[in-house]
Structure 1
């Protein structure tokens, strides 16, 4: 029986051309499905990074108000010591208003955030506006 197994192993020379073509076709199908999915994941992560930076700016404005007192408009320069790294925004303003009905302080962001091929314009956007924005929105806020 040992000789029969050795003889069978010697006859195996490798993959046939048909088998090799089948493997290449399968790999091509997998690549055709995976590449757009990966590109979509990258796009969504860039969009989420811009939104996260916008929320960080608004939260930093809240800390600024707690420490320095309220202003109608807070600029990037005002928040430099309160922000870590907000590389997706080159310039912005934070508007501080009071809701006429509830008398609550409303903090909103105006500016443009961009990362890679994703660009979002924030127009008096609050944290609620940012969290409720649809995926793929290019403008958030009023």
Structure 2
């Protein structure tokens, strides 16, 4: 027999089947990782908005006595806008010692995964945000 080099058709088919199985496992896992990263970025932006509002309130930029409101116009000098999505709207309200943020970016959270309880919401309190960032859910 000749000294033939190369792979047989059966060997090629086996390699293709193995690659297909690996792809079927890997593609959904990668998709979940990407969605979780986007969700974490949105929650991080929300946390950044609250942090900026705390500084603005301490500086007296938001005014008010009992309920203090800070919107994106007031917070523009306190938040790095390059990190937030273009055209995002947000409003931080401080009542007593509780901060509540209404952020349009929260509507982009995916309905699957760790942060599914927040999907579709437009507002969250600072305590609930901390719980979600730490545990993926609130302690309620």
Both proteins in one fold, TM over 0.5: yes
Deviations 1:62-102 (A, max 9, x none): 1101222553111110000111022177112110111xxxx
- CA separation in 1, counterparts of 2:7 and 2:95? 72
Is 1:128 matched with 2:127?
yes
CA RMSD of aligned residues (A): 2.7
Q: How many residue pairs end up in the alignment?
A: 122
2:88 to 68, 90, 112: 90
Are residues 93 and 117 of structure 1, via their aligned partners in 2, closer, same or farther at CA, if it must alter by over 3 Å? closer
Alpha-carbon distance change, 90 to 31 in structure 1, aligned in 2, over 3 angstroms: same
Deviations 1:10-66 (A, max 9, x none): 714100111111100000000000111111111111111110000000000011012
Q: Summarize deviations over 1:107-128 as a string: whole Å, max 9, x none.
A: 21123215877465233x2232
In the alignment, structure 1 residue 30 sits paired with structure 2 residue 13: no
Match in the other structure for 1:3: none
* Paired residues of 1:92 and 1:110 also in contact (CA < 8 A): yes
Identify the match of residue 106 of structure 1 among 84, 98, 120: 98
> Alpha carbons of 1:52 and 1:117: their partners in 2 closer, same or farther (altered >3 Å)?
closer
Q: Could you tell me whether the CA contact under 8 Å between 1:60 and 1:82 is conserved in 2?
A: yes
Residues 89 and 110 of structure 1, relative CA distance in 2, 3 Å threshold: farther
1:75 aligns with 2:77: no
- Greater strand fraction, Structure 1 or Structure 2: 1
User: Alpha carbons of 1:88 and 1:34: their partners in 2 closer, same or farther (altered >3 Å)?
Assistant: farther
**Where do residues 41-52 of structure 1 align in structure 2 (5 Å cutoff)?**
41-52=33-44
Gaps of 5+ in 2: 111-118
Equivalent position SS for 1:73: strand
Unaligned runs of 5+ in 1: 1-9, 99-104
